[in-house]
């Protein structure tokens, strides 16, 4: 039987976990909205994960066509790719400026390993949707929503180097610890499964499996399989194509003391 001190401590821990969950989710959603996707051809995830954080400048975001041509001298066959890369460069530059101009409240985040799951929509959400009308002659059909989120993230800085009239962008880790973003799945998994995963991932962190430089890239697939095993016990729907390790984004989020 728990005494009053133990009960108070348990309630305090629950309060802290609830606060962490809320803070992370708000920060996470803001970061997702601002993020720009990096095409696989322009950034090598493996190189970044195997890097040492004290490297001078970081890893190049290789927008080769945009970096190479002057605006008046773009070959017609390269114009489409040039414009696509220019759009990416402009978004990266916005994130770069926000991170540099407001470093005390903003944090640049590199995210990878995106997953997509389909989950039932809460009844309260359904009732608020103007497009959901129940026909008296039809049975009420279950409504679902598809959510797509990064499973892993890392605080980084963006470095900008001017070379031959072009600003080239580099990504440099500013922390050695890869974050596993399962907080957004807390409600889907349920309390027991959620805490079970936290405990397992804590063991990975203790062993240093999630610290840069990463020597075993397979650890990320292993973690996804752990999550899949728990998600299969819920109403979430997904398949083998639901997880993409090499999908990478860079965005900005509010800086907090809890990552």
Inform me whether the pLDDT recorded for 90 exceeds 70: yes
Burial category of 223 from C-beta neighbours within 10 Å (exposed 0-12, middle 13-18, buried 19 and up): buried
CA dist 253 and 235 (Å) reads 30
Please tell me which residue, 32 or 166, carries the higher pLDDT value.
Answer: 166
CA dist 205 and 25 (Å) reads 21
Element (H, E) at 53: none
Inform me whether the pLDDT recorded for 134 exceeds 80: no
**Residues above pLDDT 70, as percent of the chain:** 77
Secondary structure of residue 102 in the 3-state scheme: coil
The arithmetic mean of pLDDT across residues 152-159, rounded, is 95
CA dist 185 and 108 (Å) reads 22
Query: Which residue shows structure tokens 């309630």?
Result: 11
Q: How far is CA 84 from the centre of its chain?
A: 22
What's residue 23's pLDDT? 45
């Amino acid at each position: 039987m728990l005494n009053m001190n133990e009960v108070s401590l348990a309630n305090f821990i629950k309060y802290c976990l609830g606060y962490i969950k809320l803070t992370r989710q708000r920060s996470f959603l803001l970061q997702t909205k601002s993020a720009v996707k990096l095409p696989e051809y322009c950034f090598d995830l493996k190189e970044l994960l195997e890097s040492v954080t004290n490297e001078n400048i970081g890893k190049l975001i290789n927008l080769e066509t945009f970096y190479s041509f002057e605006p008046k001298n773009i070959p017609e066959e390269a114009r489409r790719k040039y414009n696509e890369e220019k759009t990416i460069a402009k978004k990266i530059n916005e994130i770069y400026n926000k991170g540099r101009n407001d470093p005390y409240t903003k944090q640049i985040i590199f995210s990878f390993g995106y997953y997509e799951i389909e989950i039932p929509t809460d009844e309260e959400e359904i009732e608020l949707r103007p497009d959901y009308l129940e026909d008296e002659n039809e049975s009420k059909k279950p409504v679902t929503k598809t959510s797509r989120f990064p499973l892993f993230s890392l605080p980084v800085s963006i470095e900008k180097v001017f070379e031959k009239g072009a600003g080239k962008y580099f990504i440099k880790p500013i922390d050695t610890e890869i974050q596993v973003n399962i907080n957004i799945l807390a409600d889907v998994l349920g309390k027991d499964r959620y805490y079970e995963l936290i405990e397992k991932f804590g063991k990975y962190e203790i062993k240093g499996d999630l610290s840069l430089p990463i020597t075993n890239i397979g650890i990320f697939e292993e973690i996804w399989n752990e999550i899949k095993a728990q998600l299969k016990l819920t109403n979430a729907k997904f398949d083998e194509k639901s997880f993409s390790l090499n999908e990478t984004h860079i965005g900005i989020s509010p800086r907090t003391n809890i990552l």
